[in-house]
Amino acid sequence: MKPILNKNDVEINIKKAKKILENGDLVIFPTETVYGLGGNAIDENAIKKIYKIKNRPSNNPLICHFKNIDSIEKDFVINDKSYELANQFWPGPLTLILEKKETSNISPILSNHKKFVACRIPKHPTAQKLLQNLEFPIAAPSANISTKLSSTRIIHLSKKLKDNIFLLDGGKSFYGLESTIINACNGNPKILRLGSITLEVIEKIIPNIILENHSNFLHILDNSQSIGIAVAPVPDHNLGKTINDRLTRASKS
């Protein structure tokens, strides 16, 4: 089993994680939302490893994590609306869809060969320390097997990941919900996924923002183990709206 990193040895552990990533392998690291499964965003083979171990379809793009906005500006076009959101919420649990520059060396398979990439700057001190020690961004979806719940602490990780991937232990995630994803590349900003930043907070910045693929009605959830799951009504405001969005998406999958 791969060793779990001790928080008392942060500097040594960051150096180990840095070397692993530079060699094209993967690291599990904490963010303020959930734990991420990370690889070098400019290394095609590292990104393929992420898709493989997660059992994730390669046409399902990954989020790219950066140390600061300067490093994002080297690879992406950022318009006024995106800057407005970035200045308000970065570093933090916001993911912005940005247009990649032709000069970017970010691997095209990270975004399924599309020119638009999901980008964010995590706030967690361990994630920040790791990124500050790297010369490249980290491609990192949540550290879970596809279709399984995201991990908010080390004990939630699957045995498959624990046994094969180096772990940076950052304790319990602060939010426990994935980042909010927004596409503000055109004149009609849209929330593609509600997350740790609520709709009400975002509307204070962009009042006319659109919440895409959202329904106010809950559906019966089903899986292979039961006929259905009953869910008590959740108030549809603040984080309640995010929870309802998650339940709606799960009911359609």
Indicate which CATH number applies to the domain containing 94. Answer: 3.90.870.10
Indicate if the pLDDT at residue 221 is higher than 60: no
- Summarised one tens digit per residue, pLDDT across range 135-154 is 999 999 999 998 888 899 99
Please report whether residue 1 resides in a domain: no
Torsion angles phi and psi, residue 172, rounded to 5: -75, 135
**CA–CA distances in Å: residue 107 to residues 19, 44, 104, 117, 221:** 20, 6, 8, 11, 36
Q: What is the domain count for the chain?
A: 2
Torsion angles phi and psi, residue 121, rounded to 5: -120, 105
Residues 203 and 236 in one domain: no
Please tell me the least confidently modeled range out of 17-31, 120-134, 189-203: 189-203
Q: What pLDDT does residue 147 have?
A: 83
User: How confident is residue 218, by pLDDT bands cut at 50, 70 and 90?
Assistant: very low
DSSP 134: -
Please report whether residue 150 resides in a domain: yes
Residues 147 and 242 in one domain: no
Please tell me the least confidently modeled range out of 70-84, 124-138, 176-190: 176-190
Domain of residue 238, residue span:
214-253
Indicate if the pLDDT at residue 183 is higher than 90: yes
**CA 236/CA 231 separation, integer angstroms:** 14
Residues 139 and 240 in one domain: no
Residues 190 and 246 in one domain: no
User: How confident is residue 215, by pLDDT bands cut at 50, 70 and 90?
Assistant: very low
* Token pair belonging to 118: 């999901």
Amino acid at 216: N
Residues 204 and 248 in one domain: no
**CA 145/CA 163 separation, integer angstroms:** 13
Residues 200 and 117 in one domain: yes
Indicate if the pLDDT at residue 224 is higher than 80: no
Indicate if the pLDDT at residue 22 is higher than 80: yes
Classify the phi-psi angles of 171: left when phi > 0, otherwise alpha if psi is within -120 to 50, otherwise beta: left
The pLDDT of 174-178, averaged and rounded, is 89
